[in-house]
Structure formats: structure tokens, C-alpha cells
């Protein structure tokens, strides 16, 4: 989406998080609106969305979420809020979340040169 590209280019985390969460919700709403309906999100998925909104209401837009084609959540935040978000997740979902995997931004794309099979 254009807004998402704009938000990442300008490093506007609040705009980025809002656009990604709205996009995720719209995609899952389309799935529910299909016939027969497809329901990927679980009760825990909905509770996690609520937790992220409570987390943000307690201190501004500090986190966002999206879901794959299933109930698996992908949360994102800035480095400044990672520990706080992790503690919220671990506290509120201790009985349901088996593992929190933290990913960080990598070094960026690598350039590979195709030398062709005839040169091998």
C-alpha cells in the first residue's frame, strides 16, 4: 500500500503499525465474508489483538500485529519497546504461548552475481 511505503520511507512507526493492522483485519474480514466462510483467527488471536490495542493505549502507538493465513500472530515494535511488549505477551499469555521468537532487522539485501552455468 502507498501509505505503508510512505510510512517506512519516513520512518513513521505509528502510521506503519496502523496500516498493517488495518490491512490484516480487512484480509481476515474478507475471509469471513466468503462462502463458505474461512475463519483463520482463534479466540487467542482476538485476545492478542486486544492486548496490543491496550498496550498502545497505555503509551501511544508502540506495537502492531498481523496474522498469517492462520492464527499465528506476528507482532512488531521498535527496539525501544521490545522488552516491554515481550513482558506484556508473557504475562497475559503465559498459559497459551509456548515461545516468543524475537527477530531483528538484518543487514539488508545481498547482491549476487549470476556467472552462468557455462562459466562453472
State how beta strands 63-67 and 73-77 pair: antiparallel
What is the predicted pLDDT for the residue at 23?
Answer: 92
| DSSP designation for 117 | G
pLDDT tens digits in sequence order for the chain, 120 residues long: 455 555 556 678 999 999 999 999 898 889 889 999 988 889 999 999 999 999 999 999 999 999 877 788 899 999 899 999 999 999 999 888 778 888 887 787 777 777 766 655
C-beta separation of 24 from 42 below 8 A: no
Amino acid at each position: 500500500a502507498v501509505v505503508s511505503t510512505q510510512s517506512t520511507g519516513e520512518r513513521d512507526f505509528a502510521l506503519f503499525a496502523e496500516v498493517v493492522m488495518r490491512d490484516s483485519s480487512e484480509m481476515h474480514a474478507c475471509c469471513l465474508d466468503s462462502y463458505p466462510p474461512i475463519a483463520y483467527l482463534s479466540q487467542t488471536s482476538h485476545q492478542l489483538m486486544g492486548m496490543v490495542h491496550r498496550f498502545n493505549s497505555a503509551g501511544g502507538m508502540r506495537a502492531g500485529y498481523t496474522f498469517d493465513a492462520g492464527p499465528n500472530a506476528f507482532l512488531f515494535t521498535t527496539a525501544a519497546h521490545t522488552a516491554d511488549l515481550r513482558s506484556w505477551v508473557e504475562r497475559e499469555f503465559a498459559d497459551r504461548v509456548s515461545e516468543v521468537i524475537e527477530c531483528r532487522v538484518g543487514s539488508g539485501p545481498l547482491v549476487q552475481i549470476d556467472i552462468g552455468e557455462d562459466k562453472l
